[in-house]
Structure 1
């Protein structure tokens, strides 16, 4: 199972959540960024309809797969800061 970790971080004079090197929009407070990350985390848990998937790999070969829509990642929020705290 895939694991996804959203991290709460200071960003652009406010706060954001990020996944890897990608930041969300900036929020005015730590609590707002944390709540936004919680909403995204909940949305990650919603299953989808079964679907056929096709994609081309780096060598140009086409692959065809079936997704039952229930394979959802394990999601967590990493928060090293307290509400109102700024990094040193």
Structure 2
């Protein structure tokens, strides 16, 4: 029951966040939850250049903040780094079938 209430609140909060994000010129402003649905965060993000995207997430239930940077190396390659509760970096390759 608590998960259902949280999901309902997140869906409404996500719509409000997108509306506010549009007014402030952000490329992304959303409310998200983890897979188990017991944590939520507000995420804002913006493209600083056509290849560089930066986002910041603030925990709404737990005090966990996350900074994420994504750099597009080419059409198929991206570099992604994240710092928060966990830190890491990945090189991503995208292909279509």
TM-score (norm 2): 0.27
TM-score (norm 1): 0.30
**Quick one: higher RCO (CA 8 Å, sep 6+), 1 or 2?**
1
Q: Which has the higher helix share?
A: 2
Larger Rg: 1
Q: Which has the higher strand share?
A: 2
